Chains A and B, each alone.
Chain A
Amino acid sequence: MEVSSQKFNDHVHQAVDDANLKGAMGKLTGALRPNRARAVAGLPEFDDYRDHGIAIKMHTLDHIDRYLEEFETNVVANGGHVHWCADEDSARETILGLCRQYDVKTVTKGKSMVTEELGLNAFLDQHGILPLETDLGEYIIQLRGESPSHIIAPATHLQRHDIAQTFRDAHDHLDPNRPMDTAESLTEEARQELREKYGAADAGITGANFMIAETGSTIIVTNEGNGDLTQTLAKTHIVVASMEKILPTMDDAGVMLRLLARSATGQDMSVYTTLSSGPRRPGDLDGPDSFHVVIVDNGRSTMLAGSEREMLRCLRCSACLNHCPVYASIGGHAYGWVYSGPMGKVLTPSLVGLEQTKDLPNASTFCGKCQEVCPMRIPLPKLMRNLRAKQTEQKITPLKQRVLLALWSSLASRPRFYRFVTGMMTGALARMAGPKRVFTWLPFLGNWVQSRDFVAPEGGSFFDRYRASSSPSSSKGEAHD
């Protein structure tokens, strides 16, 4: 998918004035945050599961080569095939090659963020293969020609009336006056539209929440069952997964599944947890004729060896997005690529480079809520700070900012002189403000005063008052002159 993170500030400028988006983002505070809190409170050992899960992930990353090879061995033993793809080009070509091999004209798709990375839908379309998204949210945004705005709820930027209008436009064979004012009616309509297409598809493409080395299985979790239909009704099942989705054992997956659903939607368990362990065997009631797993690197190996390694623990649960006040203010599209919210601010620069994603690691107050709710306790603020440091080292940070910081630092490293200068400035400001005590406008602070007043300094400095005070301890600080 093309990166548009360079236009982050333009996106933000539009997003903060978008009343409809603001309404849609109410889902975060109204449902997702309280639901997670309830689910976590309902499992007193949640933090123990977190520690256990982190240990599993760290171990797996330390030995990822071994577990990926074990996974391949077991997939092949089950009658499936594994394809290794270093980058997005090779992944796209591999998937296209499989489609050609099986004479595929139509594919149904389960929700998969890595296929968004690959821009797979547009690519297949260009090559005469029709991709059809089956996750309700993905289906909606595919009809609208949009990209996902959230890693598990791709249409979260929309309200119900937007979706109703999208369906009226797209399903023009239906009665134009049908009532569409409930979530149920919308879901039912999408279900009817999608049902007939599952059987007609030649291949089903899904992602994977986990790949299990000891069994050669892939696991997806959904709430709609669309994944099951996608992978069992088509003749060919292609799983596309990024390499860090590997786990050693099924027991490990048990730990992660407990963490994932609670962190994501606040469910104890997702409605469907679906395991795929190869093609249909003699005697199986259903299943595909052929089973392929496309393992995508696309920058992960580099991360594994670098300072963003901890980001590879990410389970894609979306808790950091759901709890992020920046995400809640601007929505997911502003981030300009597949991943958004705090995890996107680290993952996107790591995968596509620092140059075109300058703003992403900077647009955070470091409030720390993301790290607090992350089931894998990924130190997201620290990782963003690391990326800022890399920007500074590589002089990607804007020149104006570097010059201002250098000036400020040379001033602040001389405390007495610093206080002399700030004292002059605050004295002048205090006098200018007078009894109003605020400024509604100030030069050089346009970005502050556009939305709030600048409060006037009280006048004088602490150190002046402290020296003047008759406090018995007042002389002791002077020892350090």
Chain B
Amino acid sequence: MMKPDIQENLVRRYLLGDLPESDTNELEIQILRDDEKFEEMWEIENRLVDGYVRGTLSASDQERFERHYQASPVHRQRVAVAKNLVEEADRSGAAVAHVSAKESSGARLFEKFNFSFLSWQFATVAAMLLFAVAGLWLFLDRSRLRHEQEQLRAESQSRQDREDALSQQLANAKAESQKLESEIERLRVERNGSVQPPTQPELTQRPTIYSLLLSPMLMRSSDSPQTARIPSQTDQVRLQMRVDQENARRFQVSVRTVEGRQVWEQQIKPRAGRATTSIISAQIPVSRLPVGDYILTLSAINSTGQPEEVNRYFFRVIGQ
């Protein structure tokens, strides 16, 4: 297999009519058999034509090209097409290259001043960031202060509203009070003109009771009779007796002086005491029991309504 440059040289000689007939025949058989060789040969032809158009052929090749290759009108037409094609391709490539060169020179300039440019860039970016952060902080702080100010203003307004409301309530209360005072005064004046109001002690005073539990065993003959020392402000004396008369429904209490004069008498219902006893309680105005010795006779009222004596009690009333 031939080397590429030898193959190209052979093809060029073929195309320029400088190849012996035997080699020409062999080359043509090769390209008829081998598709790849055919494609290579076609490209070598294009390269030869383009080289002629661009003026890159050697003088001898150029002379042979014009004498042999361009002898064919088809080849002349091909050369004309190639001339326009390479011009268009070079123009198109130059435009792209110009843009690329601009970008490349820009890139070189950038690389040359890369450090300083980056330094400036970083400094600028850092300054901008600093300003941005400071601005943001100021904005937030101002917003916060404005918010607090609004809150204080609202609280102040609320407090003022409450004060106003309380002042109004106080004024209303004062007015009501004055109205009531004047009403009371008017009523007092009206009342003073007719009936005196009762004094406070009289209105609230209750009767004072002196209690004494009597024992039936104590009689007039014993040495120490039951004594009732009744206070001076006592209103009534309550005399209480225990009895075992379970069936009695009513009792009769009769108080006489030892001389036989009846002081007080009353029928009384017993009050329940313990299981087998009852308490008879007789409440006697103190005015009926002046200082002296007394006999209390307790009688149970039987089923026929007649009193049956149960016990007698002896007691003495002395002063304070």
Say if A and B assemble together. Answer: no
B residues lining the A interface (CB < 8 Å): none
